Chains A and B, each alone.
Chain A
């Protein structure tokens, strides 16, 4: 059971917008920055968003992040079939003093 809660799956059509939710607590999301990762099984995970809403170099502005209280959200606009992957949120937990990840959300682009 992950400390960060993500819905197991989400789907949308090409060109549409989709959001991913990540719910935590005061000891993790509530007091630390959130990162988001894209992962196609068998490949290296990729950092999409760090410090809640910042994009690393090379990540298109179709990807966005936000945080409010103990929840965080990843948004993707202009969906492409290549966006099909698992998406994970991650942050530091100040009580456990460990990194924690959500269980991941599988995106299907219909």
Chain B
């Protein structure tokens, strides 16, 4: 059974940083593109970033470029999102999701971790 478990969220002041983690199990992690998707309070889903299975290709939504970094450790079957220079508008639940590449769909998701940016 595919499982994705996020951690690392919390309350942080504007300008602060966090490192989000996603522990994967139940599939060959290195074979899949992985992604972070977020949902701000009262808003819809927003794709944030994705990373290729071997870690050699990364993409980001414009609003986080230069502030967020996505990485992975295939030996540990873990996905990470380093979030720096946080702003109030980054407040959201951050979901880890597996990408089914051929259909570009997110076929498995985690339960999410909440990031709150507030002073």
Please report A residues at the B interface, Cβ cutoff 8 Å. Answer: 2, 32-33, 35, 37, 39, 42-47, 50-51, 54, 56, 86, 88, 90-92, 97-104
Closest Cβ–Cβ distance, residue A90 to chain B (whole Å)? 7
Closest Cβ–Cβ distance, residue A105 to chain B (whole Å)? 10
Contact A33 B111, beta carbon cutoff 8 Å:
no
Residues of chain A within 8 A (CB-CB) of B107 are 47, 50, 56
Bound CA–CA A102/B44 (angstroms): 7
Contact A44 B112, beta carbon cutoff 8 Å:
yes
Contact A92 B104, beta carbon cutoff 8 Å:
yes
Bound CA–CA A19/B46 (angstroms): 23
Contact A88 B45, beta carbon cutoff 8 Å:
yes
Residues of chain A within 8 A (CB-CB) of B56 are none
Residues of chain A within 8 A (CB-CB) of B37 are 45
Query: How many contacts between A and B, using CB within 8 angstroms?
Result: 68
Bound CA–CA A26/B66 (angstroms): 29
Asked if B103 is at the interface (CB within 8 A of a chain A CB), the reply is yes
Contact A50 B110, beta carbon cutoff 8 Å:
no
Contact B44 A2, beta carbon cutoff 8 Å:
yes
Bound CA–CA A97/B60 (angstroms): 10
Name the CB-closest residue of B to A92: B104
Contact of A45 among B47, B61, B103, B109 (CB under 8 A): B109
Please report B residues at the A interface, Cβ cutoff 8 Å. Answer: 4, 35, 37, 43-47, 50, 59, 61, 95, 97, 100, 103-112
Closest Cβ–Cβ distance, residue A89 to chain B (whole Å)? 10
Contact B46 A101, beta carbon cutoff 8 Å:
yes
Contact A100 B104, beta carbon cutoff 8 Å:
no
Contact A99 B103, beta carbon cutoff 8 Å:
no
Residues of chain B within 8 A (CB-CB) of A97 are 59
Closest Cβ–Cβ distance, residue B46 to chain A (whole Å)? 7
Residues of chain B within 8 A (CB-CB) of A50 are 100, 103, 105, 107
Closest Cβ–Cβ distance, residue A58 to chain B (whole Å)? 11
